[in-house]
Amino acid sequence: MNPGAAEEAGKAAVSTIDALKSTPVILGVLVFNLAFMGFVAYFEHTNGERWARTVQATIHYCVPSGAVPKVE
């Protein structure tokens, strides 16, 4: 009987964890990279919100009120 996909994934996960146990530096780099990607995603999200507020403020204060229809 052939093993299922879940069993194969489990075996792959166990072998990966065993390999990382023998090289803690690679495990540290992996954790750092995951944390860094999370920080970058958060930073880009907040930067996008700030940019949207800046554009709305620019349109509000720099464009005559009758020139652009209001979008909320």
- The string of pLDDT tens digits covering residues 25-46 is 888 898 999 999 999 999 999 9
Q: Which of 5, 27, 6, 7 is nearest to 16 (CA)?
A: 27
Burial class of residue 20 (count of CB atoms within 10 Å of its CB; 0-12, 13-18, 19+): middle
Answer whether 0.75 is exceeded by the pTM: no
Cα–Cα dist 44/48, whole Å: 6
Q: How remote is the C-alpha of 5 from its chain's centroid?
A: 27
- The string of pLDDT tens digits covering residues 55-69 is 988 888 887 766 656
Mapping DSSP to helix (H, G, I), strand (E, B) and coil, where does residue 66 land?
A: coil
Residues 30/20, Cβ–Cβ less than 8 Å: yes
